[in-house]
Homo-oligomer: A and B are copies of this chain.
Amino acid sequence: MNDFAPTPEADEGDAIGGASREKLRQFVARIERLEEEKASLAADIKEVYAEAKSFGFDTKVLRKVISIRKQDRHEREEQEALLDLYLGVVGE
């Protein structure tokens, strides 16, 4: 079954059951709440860059720094994952 309504129940005039409807409402609310916070953080980040710029820092370079550090972190995590893998193979 490929319904949008998840629960199989008798139609009461709605294409989607009351329970599902409520559940859907909750999902939408949760997502929108999180999106809002995310947007707020994005705005904060922008502000920090602006402040840094007002201190004379080159935001382009600054962004590059952030990005490289992120990559480094990512690499380090991969290294660790690899190490874990090795250790696992050797036997704990």
Contacts of A69 in B (CB 8 A): 28, 32
Partner of A70 from B24, B35, B70 at Cβ < 8 Å: B35
Q: From DSSP, what is the main secondary structure of chain A's interface residues?
A: helix
Q: Interface readout for A57-92 with B: 1 if CB under 8 Å, 0 if not?
A: 110111011111111101100110110011001101
Chain A contacts to B: CB under 8 angstroms: 2-7, 15, 20, 23-24, 27-28, 30-32, 34-35, 37-38, 41-42, 44-45, 48-49, 51-52, 55-58, 60-62, 64-72, 74-75, 78-79, 81-82, 85-86, 89-90, 92
Give 22 A-B contacts (CB < 8 Å), ordered by A residue.
A4-B90, A6-B55, A6-B56, A6-B57, A7-B56, A15-B90, A20-B55, A24-B57, A27-B51, A27-B55, A27-B57, A27-B62, A30-B48, A31-B66, A58-B85, A58-B89, A60-B85, A61-B86, A64-B78, A65-B82, A68-B78, A68-B79
